[in-house]
Structure 1
């Protein structure tokens, strides 16, 4: 069974979503619903902390891409911190590192 836990906090103008578990087909809807709520605001600024994300498949990646596009379309952004393991490999293999540049930490992502 897929497990995804999301904790939401704030850092300045940014919503910070800490992910723990797996972002895949089974958890994608939960993830999308949570972010879609944040994306209704004007100029949504979201930082996803993937430090505790253990797995991400193509469904999870597509959810990230579409939410990134939605944020930019509304004048905001979606940034990633703590990228490692399967998500880092997936971003490298799909050549999406430019879309999701790695930020060292929360302070760098929130500037």
Structure 2
């Protein structure tokens, strides 16, 4: 099992890119939640999650994404996803959340 690794970087258009690698599940969702809360606390409310390195995501991970998105929107920003594939793509489809997390072609489009 690969634990969740997060890498934060500046993106175009004054957004922050949070690259995920590994598994987003019950044992790692707090890591994502803490990273997003840290960005939001510093008034960085435009967050792009690059999920291209995500190997697995369960409903706990999806819930963490939803909570972070709601908090970003509450602060006047957004949380968007790029690189969605595999289990996360299936979860978004099954939960009817594709409209809430629309697909973006790349980081530049997501930050625009």
Q: Distance in 1 between matches of 2:84 and 2:43?
A: 26
1:92 maps to which residue?
93
Instruction: Tell me which protein shows more strand as a share of its residues.
Output: 1
Structure 2: gaps spanning 5 or more residues: none
Q: Aligned residue pairs: how many?
A: 111
Structure 1: gaps spanning 5 or more residues: none
2:6 maps to which residue?
6
Q: TM-score, normalised by structure 1?
A: 0.95
Secondary structure class of the residue paired with 1:46: strand
Q: Distance in 1 between matches of 2:36 and 2:11?
A: 16
Secondary structure class of the residue paired with 1:96: coil
After TM superposition, give the deviation of residue 42 of structure 1 in Å.
3.4
Q: TM-score, normalised by structure 2?
A: 0.95
